[in-house]
Structure 1
């Protein structure tokens, strides 16, 4: 009998549970052959927007493209500065660079790894045009003071909610606070397509119209191009999958939260730090991120036992070669830098079984105890 393995994410498990409905939905799309900007895209846009307590949803081709389109819709471009964080996936900064603006980094809270809004004042300049907070790992950023600061200084707010589908701040869904909310629907996210997809949410009708134009070659009417846009459309096959998955999102998030509680109860006294959430937020655990000493040896030990891990993210963006031109050096964001050396993500997906969860916990305990003895 093969030894039980626990991957970081098991995409097959979710697919198997939905396969008949998915294949039927694909068949309907292919029979109709309206392959983009069709009825399923429109239905998904409305459902997801309503779920996020927003009036408008604009489906796009990826989470990265959602960020680019949001910045463009907010007229952010060359000469502008956008305040964000370095502890995030590079798409956050790529989008800022792609519109010709400059990212300006602030450090993060050491407990949540989220934007420390207290540092906003210190980096504000005459060129600051927007704030781009990231709802990282599934936890909402502290949007109250961020929005107050933005209103006080007439700044746009674009939420990167790519890892936080369904997370809330003071009872309100992320993606509904700023001018635009941006979600990745990458296949491994809480709500994932079968490949690449994304969506923008907004309560501003004018911004929604701009987003729709830019995603479709700058057109409201075919072959009439009001602005230079691009091809950022969500296709109907992906929309069909997302529409089918939407009713399960809350159930899947609750399963993630239940798994996280189990991990935390069993590992809270073992690892250096378990994920924590503030009383004003909910956490939907796109990733379950702990801190450990001797991370590389720890990961190798788990891998040897068939337990998948990852690091989100091992090198902060301000220290990446791609961002060298922005002039940041080691020591400028000490909290981010310290965390990046110890964080590690454990397996997290709704379909984890009790047996798998127990195996992860036991293997973590064994690896850390062995490391302590060696030290």
Structure 2
């Protein structure tokens, strides 16, 4: 069986240093917002090229706290409209709802699957913010979105949960440093994955950073003194220690993912399969290698019969989920078509060449 993502093998590379780090954390006994969190926040801010990084409990909370932070600062208010790509994981949309804002769903670009910049400009007139999602590890069209945000006086945010380390062609800035604020997830399957949940916000805005530090900790700066109504969403100290260790290997892991993607793109020669758009630059870190196929059910049977694991990112679009049935009236044909056709192939920095070639040769026989 060729695994879709071998988490054991990925993390086993760090076994000795993770155990040493665990022992230090156990001895330190400062498990909430300790030195490990501060150290990682500084390291990740430096990595992304931002002034601030604030660790959170998970990626959804990171994005929600950005929006809540701007509400606290008076830059957004309840009921404001936020433009969100319809083709995304549901968490992007949930963050807007949790912040008492209104998500406006727009179709994606058919080639990159990220938010389309060709959306009817009338949509932007009454909006207050845009969330660009760097889906599957590929940066959205940053320059065009920055221009739209400037032209319509909108806040611009990044959902960078799948794009740790992706670099913009425009100015060589990394994901997390391409907008007013960005949210990251460190879910174990991510390119920079913890051994549990975790997230972070990156920004250059000192006011926002200070507000989010309050919001993540019950609205408190000093113990038992609460300045604002907050949440409990703090990056675990031990996970922060693990992330500091794994951050050192992120660029190398991303480069290996790009190598695998290039091998797939060069080797898979099957007209039944639509391969992802990739220009060969560092703007993609291939969190997932997503293809399209006409008869997905038949293709899944083929993969199963040939012992190739797969995943669908994602089988049901958010607006068709029961939780978001209030959006069932929305007409999003491209998003729905994409969700019916996509499937993700094995992608991992620890994949061996033999398995890569096996996937290629097998798919060419479909």
- 1:12-58 deviation line (CA, Å, top 9, x unaligned): 11122110000010010011100021111111111111111111000
Q: Work out the CA distance in 2 between the residues paired with 1:78 and 1:278.
A: 40
Match of 2:94, SS state, is helix
Aligned CA-pair RMSD? 1.5
Q: Is the 8 A contact 2:164 2:175 kept in 1?
A: yes
Q: Does 1:283 align with 2:284?
A: yes
Higher mean alpha-carbon deviation, 150-159 vs 339-348, is at 150-159
- Matched with 1:209 is 210
Q: Work out the CA distance in 1 between the residues paired with 2:122 and 2:196.
A: 40
- Matched with 1:184 is 185
Q: 1:340 to 1:183 in 2, by over 3 A?
A: same
- Matched with 1:326 is 327
1:307-318 to 2 correspondence within 5 Å?
A: 307-318=308-319
Report how many residues are paired. Answer: 360
- Matched with 2:144 is 145
Q: Work out the CA distance in 2 between the residues paired with 1:120 and 1:191.
A: 35
Match of 1:220, SS state, is strand
Q: 1:262 to 1:280 in 2, by over 3 A?
A: closer
Q: Does 1:52 align with 2:48?
A: yes
Q: Work out the CA distance in 2 between the residues paired with 1:144 and 1:281.
A: 16
- Matched with 1:11 is 7
Distance apart, 1:307 and its partner CA:
1.0
Match of 1:159, SS state, is strand
- Matched with 1:352 is 351
Q: Which runs of 5+ in 1 are unaligned?
A: 369-375
Q: Is the 8 A contact 1:82 1:96 kept in 2?
A: yes
Q: 1:358 to 1:281 in 2, by over 3 A?
A: closer
- Matched with 2:118 is 118
Distance apart, 1:322 and its partner CA:
1.9
- Matched with 1:253 is 254
Higher mean alpha-carbon deviation, 209-218 vs 270-279, is at 270-279
**Which of 16, 41, 48 lines up with 2:37 in the alignment?**
41
- 1:268-316 deviation line (CA, Å, top 9, x unaligned): 4444321123577621000000111211111122123221111111221
Q: Does 1:195 align with 2:196?
A: yes
- Matched with 2:163 is 164
Q: Is the 8 A contact 1:271 1:290 kept in 2?
A: no
Q: Does 1:25 align with 2:30?
A: no
Q: Work out the CA distance in 1 between the residues paired with 2:98 and 2:282.
A: 31
Q: Is the 8 A contact 1:106 1:120 kept in 2?
A: no
Higher mean alpha-carbon deviation, 95-104 vs 278-287, is at 278-287
Q: Does 1:222 align with 2:223?
A: yes
- Matched with 1:87 is 87
Q: Work out the CA distance in 1 between the residues paired with 2:320 and 2:38.
A: 40
Q: Is the 8 A contact 1:71 1:158 kept in 2?
A: no
Q: Work out the CA distance in 1 between the residues paired with 2:364 and 2:281.
A: 31
Q: Which runs of 5+ in 2 are unaligned?
A: none
Q: 1:13 to 1:280 in 2, by over 3 A?
A: closer
TM-score (norm 2): 0.95
Q: Work out the CA distance in 1 between the residues paired with 2:354 and 2:272.
A: 21
Q: Is the 8 A contact 2:107 2:116 kept in 1?
A: yes
